[in-house]
Amino acid sequence: MTPNMNYSKLKDSYLFYNIAQKTKAYLAEHPGTHLYRMGIGDVSLPLCRTVIDALHHAVDDQAVQESFHGYMPECGAPELRATIAAYYAQRGVQLAPEDVFVSSGASDELGDILDILGRDQRVLIMEPAYPAYVDANIIAGNEIIHVASSREDGFLAPPDPSVHADIIYICSPNNPTGAVFSRTHLKAWVDYANKTDAIILFDAAYEAFIEDAEIPHSIFEIEGAKTCAIEICSLSKTAGFTGTRFGYTVIPQELMRGGLSLNAMWVRNRTTKTICGSYILQKGAAAVFTEEGQREIHENIRVYKKNAAHLMAALDTLGIWYCGGKNAPYIWM
């Protein structure tokens, strides 16, 4: 047996794991110290009341024969997939429920999705970037093209026609820079991907923080995206689900490569490799998309955005340049 030698190309430990270990060691040496944790982007506010009530009701359902649920459908409960599709429709994006796949979070999907995209791919990653993009592709044996973005381009690197990539990672609002892609920026990447037969993996984990009406929440708000993009989203930051775990992936049935439907391939992958999230979890997630759930989660989001506003005000006073903060929880200096 030969192990996957690509693991030897990784750094000794994942960035956030390394930060957590150093933090633990420091606190052990300095008991009573209060640290402001600016490593992994975790949440600090509890789940909203509507979600908690839904979780409690779902637990009670599991105690009664008539309402008990065992295994859930591999790709998610049909009614939840329809609910998420309806959420997209509010922004003018028409999806079939079958385009939506329920998951345990965006991090899992960002790595697992490579299963259906082949090996030895050229993968374009705009730096600075969420480190999991790089590590997942090192493990998969793909060639990584690092594209630098900077203050000069607003951390929104445009496509370079001279560079060929098979897979393109775009995160908007961006982790860690807080930059957001406009319709014009995204249209340029969609046109590039359709022209070169590339696939865009669009990380929309922070879409709920967008307040500018002109900024797209989804890449599928851009004409042509359904034939070149996969969108991965999460309730971790939207609704405080970092410890609860829930996400969803959108693969339009129009998305084809090599004569094959990537949607159908993902159905086959999910039915083989996963058991979908529990009935209890999916009921809690469904509550997020209700009118009351949306109102409550945005109350929490306003708290995080207020924190960012305080930081921005201090930086403005000091005359320090920064990116992000308005449509994202992150500020980059």
What tens digit of pLDDT does each residue of 173-183 get? 999 999 999 99
Tell me which of 3.30.70.580, 3.90.226.10, 3.40.640.10, 1.10.10.60 is the CATH number of domain 51-288: 3.40.640.10
Task: Check residue 178 and report its DSSP letter.
Answer: -
- Domain spans of the chain, in order of start: 51-288
Q: Of 291, 325, 298, whose CA–CA distance to 240 is shortest?
A: 298
Neighbours of 40 (CB within 10 A): 11
Identity of the amino acid at 95: L
CB 121 within 8 A of CB 133: no
Query: Which residue is associated with the tokens 């897979």?
Result: 167
For the stretch 307-323, pLDDT in tens is 999 999 999 999 999 99
CA 222 to chain CA centroid, nearest Å: 18
For the stretch 270-328, pLDDT in tens is 999 998 889 999 999 999 999 999 999 999 999 999 999 999 999 999 999 999 999 99
The pLDDT value recorded for residue 40 is 67
Neighbours of 94 (CB within 10 A): 11
Q: 31 preceded by cis ω (within 30°)?
A: no
For the stretch 188-231, pLDDT in tens is 999 999 999 999 999 999 999 999 999 999 999 999 999 999 99
3-class state of residue 232 by DSSP:
strand
Q: 128 preceded by cis ω (within 30°)?
A: yes
Cα separation values, 296 from 82, 180, 274, 300, 328, Å = 21, 24, 31, 7, 18
Strand partners, 102: 248
3-class state of residue 61 by DSSP:
helix
**Strands 143-148 and 122-127: what pairing?**
parallel
Q: Assess whether pLDDT exceeds 90 at residue 240.
A: yes
For the stretch 136-177, pLDDT in tens is 999 999 999 999 999 999 999 999 999 999 999 999 999 999
